[in-house]
Amino acid sequence: MSGDYGRVAFIGLGVMGYPMAGHLAKQASAVTVFNRSSARASLWLEDYRESSAACATATSPKAAAKDADLVFVCVGNDDDVAQVVLGEEGALAGLSPGSLLIDHTTASQALAQKLGTACTAQSVGFLDAPVSGGQAGAENGALTVMTGGAKEDYKRAGPYFDCYAKKHALMGEIGAGQLTKMVNQICIAGVLQGLSEGVHFAQQAGLDVDAVIDVISQGAAQSWQMNNRANTMARDEYEFGFAVDWMRKDLGIALGTAKQVGARLPLTALVDQFYADVQNMDGGRWDTSSLLRRLK
């Protein structure tokens, strides 16, 4: 099937980008990767050297983007995206007219719009396309992609999204993908706080938490977080998925945007402060289900 796909570049090989780029290597004709830690890029190349794609590493985002039909970015925050895309050695400096830049980073709407404007000036397409599903979703090719941009660019990107996503959708113009991801994080924050309190109550009441979860997960209380995190929470294990530091970054973006659009997010603001408590417990790298720890 690789003949149906073009040459791609992937910038950012963290816990999400590493397997996403790997899925693309099974389909694209060529995949060139860049990571700020070159050792990580070398490891990726070793892991996927035998893929159907011609795989290579690059010394800069600009070099990675040269000759690429599509460039994917998945880094940490707004500043990281701006550096790897708009910097002197950034991807945009290497992209050719008619190519497409796709940013999978969870970032701000304002940055998405800035990138869109910069890409348009060089006749390059742009999609803001944050993802949900965590490391497991990336590894299993089961992510959800929320996309903002032009229909024709989304249609072009769709087959590539299919390599690592179970669901993707066009949510509106540039920036709409990031706004949708904010909704995603707002909902997750509230669910996790409720789940933490439920598990805490069950423990304090002397119930068998696993048995409780087995029962209530079949009813109206069911959620992805309950199915995938409640039992590990009960065992005080927090080495899974999405880190508290990154969640606070995302909630900060959502809370800032809420002020701009006139939305009221009292629960989100409260849970954000609860995550600050977890950070003060040296839990910044624990996953987001660690809200339970502050109740003990």
4 or 112, higher pLDDT = 112
pLDDT tens-digit series, residues 120-142: 999 999 999 999 999 999 999 99
Pair 19, 9: CB distance under 8 Å: no
- Position 52 confidence tier, pLDDT thresholds 50, 70, 90: confident
Give the number of residues written for the chain.
296
pLDDT given for residue 240 in this prediction: 84
Which of 204, 206, 192, 180 lies closest to 238, judged by CA?
Answer: 192
296: helix, strand or coil: coil
pLDDT given for residue 256 in this prediction: 97
Q: Can you tell me the distance from the alpha carbon of 244 to that of 288, in angstroms, rounded to the nearest whole number?
A: 5
**This prediction's pTM:** 0.94
How many other C-beta atoms lie within 10 A of the C-beta of residue 52? 16
Q: What is the mean pLDDT of residues 84-95?
A: 97
101: helix, strand or coil: strand
Topology of domain 2-174, CATH: Rossmann fold (3.40.50)
Q: Can you tell me the distance from the alpha carbon of 53 to that of 50, in angstroms, rounded to the nearest whole number?
A: 8
Inform me whether the pLDDT recorded for 1 exceeds 60. Answer: no
∠166-170-174 over CA atoms, to 5°?
130
Examine the residue annotation and report whether 26 is marked as an active-site residue of this protein.
Answer: no
Q: What is the mean pLDDT of residues 14-26?
A: 97
% of the chain with per-residue pLDDT over 70: 99
2 or 133, higher pLDDT = 133
- Position 86 confidence tier, pLDDT thresholds 50, 70, 90: very high
* Angle (deg, nearest 10), helices 38-48 and 17-25: 30
Q: Which CATH class is domain 179-295?
A: mainly alpha
pLDDT given for residue 60 in this prediction: 98
Which tokens belong to 265?
């997010």
For the chain, the domains span 2-174, 179-295
How many other C-beta atoms lie within 10 A of the C-beta of residue 276? 15
pLDDT given for residue 2 in this prediction: 39
Q: Can you tell me the distance from the alpha carbon of 247 to that of 284, in angstroms, rounded to the nearest whole number?
A: 9
Average pLDDT, the chain: 96
Q: What is the mean pLDDT of residues 9-16?
A: 97
Residues 6+ apart with CB under 8 A from 38: 57, 59
- Position 249 confidence tier, pLDDT thresholds 50, 70, 90: very high
Q: What is the mean pLDDT of residues 28-57?
A: 96
Pair 38, 60: CB distance under 8 Å: no
Positive or negative, the Cα torsion across 45, 49, 51, 57? Answer: positive
- From the candidates 151, 181, 259, 296, give the one annotated as an active-site residue: 181
How far are the Cα atoms of 139, 164, 243 from residue 134, in angstroms, in the given order?
A: 9, 12, 10
pLDDT tens-digit series, residues 157-198: 999 999 999 999 999 999 999 999 999 999 999 999 999 999
Q: Which residues pair with 9 in a beta bridge?
A: 32, 71
pLDDT given for residue 3 in this prediction: 43
